[in-house]
Structure 1
Amino acid sequence: MTLEAPARDRAPAAAPLVLVERLIFRYPNGHQALHGIDLRIDPGEKLALIGPNGAGKSTLMLHLNGIHLPAEGSVAIAGIPVTRQNLGRIRALVGLVFQDPDDQLFSPTVYDDVAFGPIHMGLARDEVEARVARALEAVGLAGLERRQPFHLSLGQRKRAALATVLSMSPQLLVLDEPSAGLDPRGRRELINLLRSLDQTLLVSTHDMRLVAEVFPRTVILDEGRIVADGPTPDLLADAALLERHGLEMP
C-alpha cells in the first residue's frame, strides 16, 4: 500500500543516522523552499529522493552537511546537531557529491584530487595513500591516479568525484543526479557501484529506473513537502501518485 505521508509504519532503530525535524527554510528573497520536513534515515539505508524541479530536493540535501543551516526546525547527523559550531564534525560524516563532477575536480591529477581531503584532515602520508588507493579501487579507477581529470570521460569524472568523498570515509553519501548525462555503459557502471557501497545513501534523481534498481526506499518531495515515503516498488507502481507530482513510471 502506498504511503502518502511523511511517517513510515515501522519500528524505529535505536539511533538514526539522519534526523530532520520540522525543518523550514526560506531563501533571502522570501521564497519558502521547505515546509516542515520530517525525515529519518537509519544506518545502512539506501534512499532515493525524487520530485519535480523546484521541489526543494537540493535545498534539503544542502542542509545535511551544513551548506545551509536550519533556521527553523533541526537537523542532526549521528546525533550531532547541524550547527555552525559543529560544521567540521558534520562534514567529516557527510560526503556530498554534486551533479557536475567538475565542481569537485580541480587538481592536476586524479590522485591529487582524491588525496586533497585526507591531507587536510592531517593524516599521515601512508594513511593518505591507503585511503586514495581504497577509494579509487571502490569506484573502478585504480591505475588512473596520474591521469588529468579533464582527460577522463564524464562517467569516469563522476566516479573520480565520488572517490574524493569516499577517501574521507563518510558515514553518509549524498549524491545529486549521479546518472545525469551518462551513456548506457556509464549508467550501468554507476548502478553497480552504488549497489556495492557500504555507506548510507541519499540520492536525488529523476532517473526512475535507477531508483527502481538500487533503492529500497523512496521519498517524494513536492513544493517543499514530503508527500510520500515508503517502499520503492509500492510508490513506483502508483501511476496516479507519480502523475500528481510530475513523475513518470520507470
Structure 2
Amino acid sequence: MTLDSASQSPIPPSADRWVDVRDLVFTYPDGFEALRGITLKIARGEKVALIGPNGAGKSTLMLHLNGINAPTSGSVAIGGMSVNRANIGRIRAEVGLVFQDPDDQLFSPTVYDDVAFGPVHMGLPKAEVDSRVSRALESVGLAGFEKRQPHHLSIGQRKRAALATVLSMSPSVLVLDEPSAGLDPRGRRELINLLTGLEQTMLVSTHDMKLVAEIFPRTVIVDGGRVVADGSTVDTLADRELLEAHGLEQP
C-alpha cells in the first residue's frame, strides 16, 4: 500500500498500524534546521524510548507525528496514512500526544470534561462518550475522579488524567514527552506500571534512564537533529562512551 493510496482508504486495523518517518527535515522560520533527515520506523505495538540532550530535536520530531509541525521535506505516516492537512482529524485521533506539563492539556472544570473533550468533538453520542471516559479513567487508575477539579489533583494524578484525555480517543499510537518529570517515587512506580500495561505503539521522550531501562526494549538517540543510534536498550545503555558523547549518563 502506497502512502498516496493509503491516504484515501480507511486506516488498517490496529494490529497493522505503525509509525513511519522518512528523511524528515524541519526548519524553523528563523532558519534553524531542527531535524536533519530523520528516518524512523516503529512496528505496531512496539515501545521505544527517545533520548538525547536538550535541543536535540526530540520534541520537534514528536510534534510531527500528529501534525502539529509540518515537514519542510520528507514524510510521516501513521498506519500507512500520510500525516498531512487533509488527514489531520483522523491522524490526531490515532496519535495521542501527552505533553510534559499536564496543565497544557487539562483546562476544563472537571476531570470528566477534560477526558470527554475529544470524544465530544468527534460527535459521539453521550452514552459512548461516557463509556470512553470511564474506560480511560479506569485504565489510568482514576476511576471515580470524574467530578474532581484537575487543579486539585497531585502532579502524578494530573499526568495520569492528561494521559486519559488521549486514551479516550482510542489512539493506536501514544507519544509522551518526559512523563516521569516531577514525580515522586510512588508516582513514578505507578507510571511505570501503567505504561508497561498499555498495548499501544509507544514513543516516549525522557531523560529518566532508569525508566528507559525498565520499560523500553528499544532506544533511539537523537542529537543535532539526527538519529545517531538506534538499537536494543540493553546494548545502548551499556555503551558508556556512546552515551557520554551525546550528553547522557548510564542509569
Alignment partner of 1:217 is 2:246 = no
Alignment partner of 1:18 is 2:9 = no
Higher mean displacement: 84-93 or 169-178: 84-93
Output the CA distance in 2 between the equivalents of 1:224 and 1:20.
13
Shift of 1:15: 5.9
Gaps of at least 5 residues in structure 2 are: 1-14
1:98-146 Cα shifts (integer Å, max 9, x gaps): 0000000011110111011111111111111110000000000001111
1:69-115 Cα shifts (integer Å, max 9, x gaps): 11201111111111111111111110000000000001111011101
Alignment partner of 1:196 is 2:197 = yes
Output the CA distance in 2 between the equivalents of 1:15 and 1:245.
34
Find the residue that maps to 2:179 and give its secondary structure: coil
Output the TM-score relative to the length of structure 2. Answer: 0.93
Q: What are the within-5 Å matches in structure 2 for residues 1-250 of structure 1? A: 17-250=18-251
Could you tell me which amino acid in structure 2 is paired with residue 134 of structure 1? Answer: R
**Structure-1 residue corresponding to 2:8:** none
Output the CA distance in 2 between the equivalents of 1:217 and 1:95.
20
Output the CA distance in 2 between the equivalents of 1:15 and 1:89.
16
Could you tell me which amino acid in structure 2 is paired with residue 124 of structure 1? Answer: P
Find the residue that maps to 2:77 and give its secondary structure: strand
Output the CA distance in 1 between the equivalents of 2:105 and 2:181.
16
Find the residue that maps to 2:211 and give its secondary structure: helix
Output the TM-score relative to the length of structure 1. Answer: 0.93
Higher mean displacement: 58-67 or 77-86: 77-86
Output the CA distance in 1 between the equivalents of 2:231 and 2:111.
38
Shift of 1:16: 5.7
Shift of 1:178: 0.3
Could you tell me which amino acid in structure 1 is paired with residue 18 of structure 2? Answer: L
Alpha-carbon RMSD across the aligned residues, in angstroms, is: 1.0
Find the residue that maps to 1:229 and give its secondary structure: strand
1:190-212 Cα shifts (integer Å, max 9, x gaps): 00000010111100000000000
8 Å contact kept, 2:137–2:161: yes
Could you tell me which amino acid in structure 2 is paired with residue 181 of structure 1? Answer: G
Gaps of at least 5 residues in structure 1 are: 1-13
Find the residue that maps to 1:35 and give its secondary structure: strand
Find the residue that maps to 1:213 and give its secondary structure: helix
Divergent runs of 4+, >2 A: none
Shift of 1:21: 0.6
Could you tell me which amino acid in structure 1 is paired with residue 170 of structure 2? Answer: S
8 Å contact kept, 2:17–2:172: no
Output the CA distance in 2 between the equivalents of 1:22 and 1:120.
33
Find the residue that maps to 2:181 and give its secondary structure: coil
Find the residue that maps to 1:169 and give its secondary structure: coil
Find the residue that maps to 1:39 and give its secondary structure: strand
Identical positions, percent: 76
Output the CA distance in 1 between the equivalents of 2:220 and 2:86.
30
